[in-house]
Amino acid sequence: MRSDYWDQPAFETVRPRRLVAPLVFNSPHSGKVYPPRFLAMTRLDHLSVRQSEDAFVDELFSRAPHMGAPLLRAHFPRAYLDVNREPWELDPKMFAEPLSDTFNTTSPRVAAGLGTLARVVAENKPIYRERLSLDDARMRIEGIYMPYHAALQKLLTEAIAAFGIAVLVDCHSMPRIGRHGDRAAPDIVLGDRYGTTCAPALMDLVETVFSAAGLRVARNRPYAGGYCTRTYGRPHHGVHAIQIEVSRHLYMNEATLEKNAGFEPLRALVEGLVATLIGVDPVSLANGTRIAAE
């Protein structure tokens, strides 16, 4: 089966002119290039199918390459393919053919309709009119998912070669979270898989930057970090990974998917975060030394 992205790149690595820090920024859910064949397969209108996007997150972090750190960003949308899942987390109800035991068909994400190929978008709206073929899944996973992760691994390997350490910053957005009792909803959720995927000092530093800007920051609840954070975050092997979830209400209208007046101030804050992270001494991070925002 010919790739749906045969005539355009499915994703892009934006490299700095000079690598100045061991940082790798990853925006796997901000893609908004919807292939015509996919749109013909969906029962949703164009605005509804976009509800799963981390819209504009790649733009929020777009200054990173200009400052000396690469940015890997998807052009394919999350509703089409989710690279923040295991490679073969597939829902058997979505496919015309039976799925063998080699596929992960029983994960909580599959049960929720949010496997590698999602069954639903936000508000549990089904995506497809009809069942898919396994050839379609293989085209997306073997042709896009695998190369995407190869590109991410390459960036991390290059960082380790240059600095002896790598830091993956996995960039996401989240729907506005409702208030829970007396607890105010967070604006930012940082995930490190409950302290297992990055140095505590790195989490402290990122939290400090956002908190100093007046934003409410939570850790690991309700988002502890997905497949990318869990898979690549190996602090004892020199690779730290942190997931950043930004509440969409800070910078966009969640219904119309249009930027609001908060977009530019938030992008400036993110640029400040990038500058702060670039200023971290890799040796201090590797040794677990306390680091502070300038």
**Amino acid residing at 89:** E
Name the residue among 121, 109, 119, 117 with its Cα closest to residue 141: 117
Name the residue among 263, 245, 254 with its Cα closest to residue 48: 254
User: Is 112:127 a contact under the CB 8 Å cutoff?
Assistant: no
- What is the DSSP annotation of 79-116? TT--TTS-TTB--GGGBSSPP-TTSB--SHHHHTT-SS
In order along its 294 residues, the chain shows pLDDT tens digits of 899 999 999 999 999 999 999 999 999 999 999 999 999 999 999 999 999 999 999 999 999 999 999 999 999 999 999 999 999 999 999 999 999 999 999 999 999 999 999 999 988 999 999 999 999 999 999 999 999 999 999 999 999 999 999 999 999 999 998 765 567 899 999 999 999 999 999 999 999 999 999 999 999 999 999 999 999 999 999 999 999 999 999 999 999 999 999 999 999 999 999 999 999 987 777 666 666 544
Task: Tell me the CA distances in angstroms from 101 to 27, 118, 267, one per residue in order.
Answer: 31, 19, 44
Class of domain 11-82+149-287: alpha beta
Structure tokens at 55: 């819209």
pTM value is: 0.95
Q: Measure the CA–CA gap between 293 and 3, rounded to whole angstroms.
A: 45
Q: Measure the CA–CA gap between 48 and 268, rounded to whole angstroms.
A: 29
Query: What pLDDT, on a 0 to 100 scale, did the predictor assign at position 180?
Result: 58
Query: What pLDDT, on a 0 to 100 scale, did the predictor assign at position 290?
Result: 60
Q: Measure the CA–CA gap between 147 and 120, rounded to whole angstroms.
A: 24
- CA R_g for the chain: 19
User: Is 294:86 a contact under the CB 8 Å cutoff?
Assistant: no
Query: What pLDDT, on a 0 to 100 scale, did the predictor assign at position 289?
Result: 60
Task: Tell me the CA distances in angstroms from 254 to 149, 248, 250, one per residue in order.
Answer: 29, 7, 10
Query: What pLDDT, on a 0 to 100 scale, did the predictor assign at position 288?
Result: 62
